[in-house]
Amino acid sequence: MHARWVFLPVIGAPIAHGPVLQFDLLRALNRPLDGGRTFRGRPLFGANKSWRGALAMSGGVFACASALHRSEAYRARLPAELSTLDPAIFGGALALGTVIGELPNSFLKRQIGIAPGTQRGSLAGVAISVFDQGDFVLAVLLLLRPFWRVSAAQALDAFAVVIAAHAVVNVIGYAIGARKTLL
């Protein structure tokens, strides 16, 4: 299935964001995206969703998409509609989708009282944590919809692959000290 290859450039997000967090780079941009606003007395997204994170992650995704798009081998694995799409549009949709796709789930978690970097032990809490690993997939698919219509089977396949890859990245991040939690 070609859909899973669409998401390969998203690996640029942790590659770019990791050093920014580890070395506390771009400090001036370490401000919450929500500006400290609240809804029902709770943060909209929380302090972990910052301008520097959005910039680092989207920049990493865009750079990775641009680099991969130069490779014929990579483009050959993409759906035909995306293999010929302007790399700036493709990379921009991936970058924007990766960042904004996390916001609805962050909003939901803040509203039900799940602090950033934590999870509830209930079945619903585990489901939210699993969804959190691939929540951006929906946003990316919506942003790419004008250029490519993915089947439900391909979307589910991509979502499963993204969740699995994200779990591996989380374990590596935890092992090297870049993350405080596994999920």
Q: Residue 28: what pLDDT?
A: 98
**What does the pLDDT average to over 101-129?**
85
At 118 the pLDDT is 77
pLDDT at 65 over 70: yes
Please check the confidence at residue 149 and state whether its pLDDT lies above 70.
Answer: yes
Determine the Cα–Cα distance for residues 124 and 134; give it in Å rounded to an integer. Answer: 16
**pLDDT tens sequence across 6-17:** 999 999 999 999
Whole-number Å distance between alpha carbons of 43 and 158: 31
The pTM (predicted TM-score) of the whole model is 0.91
The chain-wide mean pLDDT, for the chain, equals: 92
Q: State the Cα–Cα distance between residues 145 and 139, nearest whole angstrom.
A: 10
**Which one, of 90, 88, 125, lies nearest residue 105 by Cα?**
125
Least confident of 28-42, 60-74, 109-123, 138-152: 109-123
Query: Residue 64 — φ and ψ, nearest 5°?
Result: -65, -40
Q: Summarize pLDDT for 17-33 with one digit per residue, the tens.
A: 989 998 999 999 999 99
- From the list 140, 82, 136, 144, the residue with the least C-alpha distance to 105 is 136
Residue extents of the structural domains in the chain: 3-175
Ramachandran region, residue 39 (left: φ > 0; alpha: ψ -120 to 50; beta: rest): beta
**What pLDDT does residue 173 have?**
80
Least confident of 39-43, 107-111, 117-121, 160-164: 117-121
